[in-house]
Amino acid sequence: MTYLITGGAGFIGSNFIFHMLEAHPEDRIVCVDKLTYAGNLATLEPVLDNPRFRFVRMDICDREAVMALFREEKPEVVVNFAAESHVDRSIENPGVFLETNILGTGVLMDASRAAGVARYHQVSTDEVYGDLPLDRPDLFFTEETPLHTSSPYSSSKAAADLLALSYHRTFGLPVTISRCSNNYGPYQFPEKLIPLMISNCLHDRPLPVYGEGLNVRDWLYVEDHCIAIDRILQDGRVGQVYNVGGHNEMRNIDIVRLICRELGKPVSLITYVTDRKGHDMRYAIDPAKIHAELGWLPQTRFADGIVATIHWYLEHRDWWESILSGAYRETNEALSVRV
Ligand SMILES: NC(=O)c1ccc[n+]([C@@H]2O[C@H](COP(=O)([O-])OP(=O)(O)OC[C@H]3O[C@@H](n4cnc5c(N)ncnc54)[C@H](O)[C@@H]3O)[C@@H](O)[C@H]2O)c1
């Protein structure tokens, strides 16, 4: 069986590739990634020579190239992680979010239709539901919660979800969608909250926290997300949405304080900065559906996962320092030539 996985040089996609190569030793993976600023091919270096793995540098918006690759590889399963994923960047420059996240998804689904894939899986986000008030801890996002987006990022992801569901209904494309809460773990680009705070701490730089840091996110260890997508691919029902996450809610400020404590740095490094425009207050997933249908629940408690993550960044300083210095771009060029 051949899986075509897009965005595999990014955070979650790379973790998913490692998971799938190990969990499915009979299967092959073709990874498609444009290597934008968020793609780091050094992450995939350990598997570049694996005969069950192929890396293709390609923009998912490049219709002709994508169609040709699907004709050549004939994938049975497509998992689309490729996206512009940073909310702040979507506020600065929405255009590229519409191109990759919406048009790119459309191209992949057209290619999937033409190739007659057995499954097209769209990796989405709980941000499509908007946010919940802080004073209603009893409320959670279910798959029935109306889409109510706040940022150009979440709007582009919601548009892609609707497009995917329409391809299922109109063309019979065997689509599944997962909407996951905030991920953390190894190989996350150091512009996102947790790796940003760890790397700034280790450089004794200020730790910029939006507003008062009271925003709540439902944190999921990336390996748990990978297992959830694998379960959906194996036994999920086509045409269905599955929420992924659950009951690991943390306030941003508490995470930053925890990182300071774990790294032995003073909380005086924390600086409060003007809040993000349209900043969502609370996300919280109800995972009842994926638990009941597929037996999935998160396995890693936040208290354990965050310590493991901090230690991973301590032990892989070269990985994130090369991103901060920009050296990873040269590595991307060199490794792209090799594959
Ligand atoms: N990180 C989270 O907490 C989180 C939570 C829920 C859902 N998601 C979703 O999961 C997916 C992966 O997120 P991530 O955090 O790993 O993102 P990321 O930014 O780390 O990685 C994105 C990858 O996609 C590639 N890419 C971007 N545009 C492309 C294009 N046009 N063609 C081909 N490749 C392209 C990049 O080079 C990069 O390797 C996204 O769809 C995101 O919306 C992320």
Topology, domain 2-185+221-249+284-301+326-338 = Rossmann fold (3.40.50)
Q: How far is CA 33 from CA 18, 80, 281, in A?
A: 16, 10, 32
pLDDT of residue 316: 98
pLDDT of residue 98: 98
Q: Is 228 in the pocket of ligand 1 (CB under 6 A)?
A: no
Q: Is 182 in the pocket of ligand 1 (CB under 6 A)?
A: yes
Assigned token pair, 163: 């497009």
Q: How confident is the model at residue 72 (pLDDT cuts 50, 70, 90)?
A: very high
List pLDDT tens digits, range 4-41.
999 999 999 999 999 999 999 999 999 999 999 999 99
Assigned token pair, 165: 């569901």
C-alpha triplet 231, 235, 241: angle, nearest 5°: 80
- What's the gap in Å between 264 CA and the centre of ligand 1? 32
Q: How far is CA 267 from CA 160, 251, 262, 264, 274, in A?
A: 40, 15, 11, 9, 19
Mean pLDDT, the chain, as a whole number?
A: 97
List pLDDT tens digits, range 204-224.
999 999 999 999 999 999 999
Strands 249-251 vs 216-218: parallel, antiparallel or unpaired: antiparallel
- What's the gap in Å between 153 CA and the centre of ligand 1? 11
Distance CA 185, CA 220 (A): 9
pLDDT of residue 270: 97
Q: What share of the chain is helix, strand, coil (3-state, %, to 5)?
A: 50, 15, 35
Q: Is 284 in the pocket of ligand 1 (CB under 6 A)?
A: no
Assigned token pair, 308: 């493991």
Q: Indicate yes or no: pTM above 0.95.
A: yes
pLDDT of residue 333: 97
Distance CA 87, CA 85 (A): 6
Q: How confident is the model at residue 246 (pLDDT cuts 50, 70, 90)?
A: confident
pLDDT of residue 56: 98
Q: Is 236 in the pocket of ligand 1 (CB under 6 A)?
A: no
Assigned token pair, 213: 């840091």
Listed in order, strand segments (DSSP E) in 37-137 are 53-57, 77-80, 119-125
Q: Whose CA is nearest to atom 18 of ligand 1?
A: 10
Q: Whose CA is nearest to atom 28 of ligand 1?
A: 83
List pLDDT tens digits, range 306-334.
999 999 999 999 999 999 999 999 999 99
Q: Tell which one of 6, 12, 43, 63 to mutate to probe ligand 1, the residue whose CB is within 8 A of the most ligand atoms.
A: 12
pLDDT of residue 265: 97
181, pLDDT greater than 90: yes
- What's the gap in Å between 39 CA and the centre of ligand 1? 9
pLDDT of residue 339: 84
Token pair 């900065």 in the structure block, residue? 273
Other CB atoms within 10 A of residue 117 CB: 23
Q: Where are the domains positioned within the chain?
A: 2-185+221-249+284-301+326-338
Q: Whose CA is nearest to atom 25 of ligand 1?
A: 7
206, 269 in Cβ contact below 8 A? yes
Q: How confident is the model at residue 338 (pLDDT cuts 50, 70, 90)?
A: confident
Q: Tell which one of 19, 32, 36, 124 to mutate to probe ligand 1, the residue whose CB is within 8 A of the most ligand atoms.
A: 36
Q: Tell which one of 56, 85, 155, 225 to mutate to probe ligand 1, the residue whose CB is within 8 A of the most ligand atoms.
A: 85
pLDDT of residue 337: 87
Q: Is 122 in the pocket of ligand 1 (CB under 6 A)?
A: no
List pLDDT tens digits, range 79-114.
999 999 999 999 999 999 999 999 999 999 999 999
Catalytic residues: 126-127, 153
